[in-house]
Amino acid sequence: MTTTMAQALNAALRDALKDDDRVLVFGEDVGALGGVFRVTDGITADFGENRCFDTPLAESGIVGFAVGMAMGGFRPVVEMQFDAFAYPAFEQITSHVAKLRNRTRGALSLPMVIRIPYAGGIGGVEHHCDSSEAYYTHTPGLRVVTPGTAQDAYDLLRDAIDSPDPVVFLEPKARYWSGEDVTFTRTGPAMDKAVVRKTGTDVTLIAYGPMVATAMETAEAAKDEGWDVEVVDLRSLSPFDDETVTASVRRTGRAVVVHEAAGFGGYGAEVVARVTEQCFHQLHAPVLRVTGLDIPYPAPKLERHTLPDVDRILDTIARLQWNDTPVVAGA
């Protein structure tokens, strides 16, 4: 039976609520409405208003309240509703959520999850669509994860709720309605591990969140160009799984990083730096990026012009110096 990403997230929340009385779900419109994207649909009806409830429209207050709840022994799961709506809570996240364990020398931890629907693909404008992952990954003390599949949506959210550390959980809005067969048994890889979605020999596509499906489409289309493309889904943006990523790039000798966020200062720059530093002598060409444009998310009819697509990724793969000989250490 096909399960959408939104349904998988709903199932993860339900199972967490069943398994642990300390888990609470709250945020704007997550109660009777079931959330803007219906991720919390029916949870209040089934678990009661003490376990899943609405809050005032005050993101800083939502996160601040969650900090107190986590300090008091609960495991809050809060929803920010939209990516750019989370910015009023940014001070709470960076100054308190990320630093409390360090500030108390390990005496206190914050086992809480901040769910943020993020990125584009739904025709929203800048306050309803943003790719803010670099802000959170730049902040020590936060785990940052993002699912690219419905199965990972379930597995990662269950792991995030169980984590002793605060987790920023980025949910790609455009993939909420994409589905697959999902196994609700938590047999997947650890939360901080990347996975190879498709093996290949010629080039590694490194993607995450909303771009995983696009990378897989590109890998299929690349066969017509004679390229055998490997796809790595990062899953965890912080911490970063150097081992899986660099092993793939060393095998293929080429890499392209794909993300929807703007390119300048974007998360992909960190990935390029790490891959270049660790795989320099195995690279046949510089590591390239395919990113969103350095502009706010545009009006709905223009959005497709800024989001990376199969053609842009294929054009970038074509620039990878296919006629050059790799540099070999000591040669």
The answer to whether residues 152 and 251 belong to one domain is: no
Q: In the chain, how many domains are there?
A: 2
The verdict on residue 277 lying in a domain is yes
Rounded to whole angstroms, the Cα distance separating 155 from 264 reads: 32
Rounded to whole angstroms, the Cα distance separating 282 from 329 reads: 9
Three-state SS for 12?
A: helix
The answer to whether residues 11 and 156 belong to one domain is: yes
Domain end among 138, 157, 180: 180
What size, in residues, is the chain? 331
The verdict on residue 253 lying in a domain is yes
Query: What local confidence, expressed as pLDDT, does residue 124 receive?
Result: 83
Residues 305/306/307/308 CA torsion (nearest 10 deg): 90
The answer to whether residues 176 and 241 belong to one domain is: no
The answer to whether residues 135 and 27 belong to one domain is: yes
CATH number of the domain bearing residue 305: 3.40.50.920
Q: Which of 96, 128, 259, 284 is catalytic?
A: 128
CATH number of the domain bearing residue 85: 3.40.50.970
Angle at 5 between CA 309 and CA 163, to 5 degrees: 110
The answer to whether residues 289 and 222 belong to one domain is: yes
The conformation of residue 37, written as its DSSP 8-state character, comes to T
The answer to whether residues 121 and 208 belong to one domain is: no
Identity of the residue numbered 70:
A
Domain extent at residue 304: 195-319
The answer to whether residues 134 and 8 belong to one domain is: yes
Please confirm whether the linkage preceding 239 is cis (ω < 30° from 0). yes
The answer to whether residues 148 and 27 belong to one domain is: yes
The verdict on residue 189 lying in a domain is no
The verdict on residue 113 lying in a domain is yes
The verdict on residue 328 lying in a domain is no
pTM of this structure:
0.95
Rounded to whole angstroms, what are the CA distances from 172 to 6, 49, 126, 207, 247? 10, 27, 15, 13, 27
Mean pLDDT of residues grouped by 10 in the chain (331 residues)?
95 98 97 96 97 97 97 97 95 96 94 97 86 97 98 97 97 95 90 98 98 98 97 98 98 98 97 98 97 92 93 97 57 38
Rounded to whole angstroms, what are the CA distances from 51 to 17, 97, 195? 8, 21, 33
Domain end among 180, 211, 242: 180
Q: At 112, phi and psi to the nearest 5? A: -140, 155
Query: What local confidence, expressed as pLDDT, does residue 331 receive?
Result: 38
Rounded to whole angstroms, the Cα distance separating 227 from 220 reads: 9
- Concatenate the DSSP letters of all residues of 187-249 into one string: -S--TT--EEEE--SSEEEEE-TTHHHHHHHHHHHHGGGT--EEEEE--EEES--HHHHHHHH
Please confirm, yes or no, whether 305 is among the known catalytic residues.
Answer: no
The verdict on residue 126 lying in a domain is yes
Rounded to whole angstroms, what are the CA distances from 224 to 203, 227, 301? 15, 8, 30
Q: Give the sign of the dihedral formed by CA 44, CA 50, CA 55, CA 59.
A: negative
The answer to whether residues 138 and 256 belong to one domain is: no
The answer to whether residues 130 and 209 belong to one domain is: no
The verdict on residue 16 lying in a domain is yes
The answer to whether residues 245 and 293 belong to one domain is: yes
The answer to whether residues 54 and 136 belong to one domain is: yes
